[in-house]
Amino acid sequence: MKVLVTGAAGFVGRAVVARLMGAGHSVMAAVRNADDAPAGTIACPIGDLAGPVDWRPALAGVDAVAHLAARVHVMREGAADPDAAFAAVNVAATRGLAEAAVAAGVRRFVFLSSVKVMGERTTVGRPFRDDDRPAPEDAYGRSKLAAEDLLLAMPGLEPLILRPPLVYGPGVRANLRALARLARSGLPLPFGRLANRRSLVGVSNLAQAIELGLTHPGAVGRRLLVADWHPTTAELAAALARAAHRPMRLLPVPVSLLRGAGLLLGRGAVARLTQPLEVAPDGLAGLGWRPAVPPADELAALMAALARE
């Protein structure tokens, strides 16, 4: 099978490329610049997704698309109109690619969305489920939901929507990278009282789910959550320290103090660390998805990658 992977040079993209090539598939790597394409792929430079893109060369001879490229959520949004900025890439560019895929006779289309289309938090004992009503709270989540809707409504397309929570593994950025570096430092961390659970998914297991979605007949037209681990924040911090072979001391700092002070990671990051956000990936499990890489192994790879930097 020949697969077009957008965002092939990114954190998730590289894992998907490695997974597909390891299974014997050929990969067209849609990247901003040709030099960014992972080794062994067919480079397809497309420039900036916010501008016009001619997808025809990238789709030539392709059997399926894994659309991973996106304007991603950031803690400090700089755009004057965030909804327009996110829509230009996550909605308009997705529509352009999907229309070009249909015109080229490419039907199977896996779209990497986000749990943020569901909302920012869950209640204890009530995880998000695949058929829950979406309730995005920011421009990123709204743009992803709009892209989902247009893909599912497009004639001639066989889309699968995957909604991951926080993705972990080697190459991770942003808040989890910051937490991993803190855990690797061996310093005491003020998370001893954090009992909220946050679902996560390892990048290797997410790549496995994407590969499954490219071929499984039961995946078509679905919106599916994906997660492989549901630790408390304290358990996550301790697991990161173990993966780095560091001692871990978790200080019992009251949650209210953490929220007020924004200790170490910033107020936005602390808000996410202290709130529950669990998902139940029942639909994906029903397709036969069984996560192959244990969380401890993915965390070990993450910490080893940090140590090499």
**Catalytic residue numbers, as ranges:** 140
Q: How far apart are CA 141 and CA 135, in angstroms?
A: 8
Dihedral (CA of 190, 193, 199, 201) sign: positive
Q: How far apart are CA 166 and CA 181, in angstroms?
A: 17
Six-digit token string for 40: 């062994």
Q: How far apart are CA 7 and CA 20, in angstroms?
A: 14
Six-digit token string for 245: 């072979």
* DSSP for 259-293, written as a single string: HHHTTTT-HHHHHHHHS-B-B--HHHHHTT----S
Q: How far apart are CA 187 and CA 272, in angstroms?
A: 21
- The 3-state DSSP class for residue 98 equals helix
